[in-house]
């Protein structure tokens, strides 16, 4: 697989030092995800290209004032909008990148521009452990389950259960009330740019009923010439309803 490349022609406005051709080093997209209610399972491809690092997951949390539990109806755009209008807006945005037939190139800014953060694991053992550390390029069967108890876990090939945690972004912002993916009233507190910035609040003065996390998985590697991170096309894992 070494040397395998996909070539895209960009518009003239994007060309600075090239001769009209941009070289994109290929990483495979996760091809298929099974999405039962509050669960995601996927077979991650074994990536044999020398510049592959593994897989990472990006997420964002959406608070909902809708009293309905819409966790089993997220395939419907009207229900995604009812959960939170920004959830539907982000879903539509990422559909340009998840569609295998479209040529949108995924970069770090693809996620940063939508306030998406990289998933972490085991916050109280090591709050800076990225999920990339347990999802190697060799792939395997991934399972994420939000449907059991007040904590959620990730496993690979049925092995160790890794507790999922929200990102601390290298201590650049505060997470309330803790790092766990579970619904708490404190999650509504995002009055400053450094507090709960991974949460989308509808800012309505009504009770908070539910919270949902939308997650995308991508393969990650390093550009062999520029040494920056490169990504595969993302794949939607699921829209998970957080336990309370």
DSSP-derived secondary structure for 224-235: TTT--EEE---E
User: Within a domain: residue 7?
Assistant: no
Structure tokens at 133: 């550390």
44: CB partners within 8 A, 6+ apart: 30, 55, 135, 139, 140, 141, 142, 217
Tens digits of residue pLDDT in 77-112: 888 888 888 999 999 999 999 999 998 999 989 999
Burial class (CB in 10 A: 0-12, 13-18, 19+), 212: buried
**Has residue 19 been placed in a domain?**
no
- Its domain, for residue 177, covers 27-241
Residue 13 covered by a domain: no
Cβ atoms of 217 and 234 closer than 8 Å? yes
Q: Establish if 210 belongs to a structural domain.
A: yes
Whether 198 contacts 86, CB under 8 Å: no
Give the C-alpha separation, 74 to 77, whole Å: 7
Which stretch of 8-12, 91-95, 110-114, 158-162 has the lowest confidence by average pLDDT?
8-12
At residue 230 the predicted structure's pLDDT band, cuts being 50, 70 and 90, is: very high
Q: Report pLDDT digits (tens) over 16-35.
A: 333 333 445 579 999 999 98
- Domain-located, residue 14: no
Range in 3-17, 92-106, 124-138, 178-192 with the lowest mean pLDDT: 3-17
> Which of 4-18, 35-49, 179-193 holds the top average pLDDT?
35-49
Q: What is the pTM of this model?
A: 0.84
Confidence of residue 9 (pLDDT cuts 50, 70, 90): very low
How large is the average pLDDT for residues 201-223? 82
Mean per-residue pLDDT, 169-179: 64
**CA–CA dist 230, 12 (Å, integer):** 22
20 within domain boundaries: no
Structural domains counted in the chain: 1
**pLDDT in the model for residue 97:** 96
Q: What is the mean pLDDT of the chain?
A: 80
Mean pLDDT over residues 214-220, rounded? 96
Token duo for residue 47: 């990536």
The answer to whether residue 5 is domain-embedded is no
The CA-to-CA distance between both ends of the chain, in Å, stands at 45
């Amino acid at each position: 697989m070494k040397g395998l490349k996909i070539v895209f022609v960009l518009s003239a406005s994007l060309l600075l030092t090239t001769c009209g051709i941009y070289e994109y080093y290929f990483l495979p997209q996760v091809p298929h995800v099974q999405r039962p209610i509050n669960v995601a399972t996927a077979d991650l491809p074994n990536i044999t290209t020398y510049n592959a690092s593994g897989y990472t997951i990006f997420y964002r949390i959406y608070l909902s004032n809708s009293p309905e539990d819409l966790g089993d109806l997220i395939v419907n755009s009207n229900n995604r909008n009812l959960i939170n209008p920004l959830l539907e807006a982000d879903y539509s945005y990422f559909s340009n990148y998840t569609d295998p037939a479209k040529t949108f190139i995924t970069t770090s800014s693809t996620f940063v521009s939508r306030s998406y953060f990289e998933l972490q694991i085991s916050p109280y053992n090591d709050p800076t452990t990225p999920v990339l550390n347990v999802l190697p390029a060799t792939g395997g069967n991934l399972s994420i389950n939000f449907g059991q108890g007040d904590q959620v876990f990730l496993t690979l090939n049925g092995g160790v259960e890794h507790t999922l945690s929200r990102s601390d972004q290298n201590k650049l912002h505060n997470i309330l009330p803790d790092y766990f993916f579970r619904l708490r009233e404190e999650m509504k507190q995002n009055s400053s740019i450094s507090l709960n910035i991974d949460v989308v609040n509808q800012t309505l003065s009504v009770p908070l009923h539910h919270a949902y996390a939308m997650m995308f998985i991508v393969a990650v590697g390093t550009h062999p010439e520029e040494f920056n991170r490169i990504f595969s096309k993302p794949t939607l894992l699921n829209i998970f309803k957080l336990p309370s």
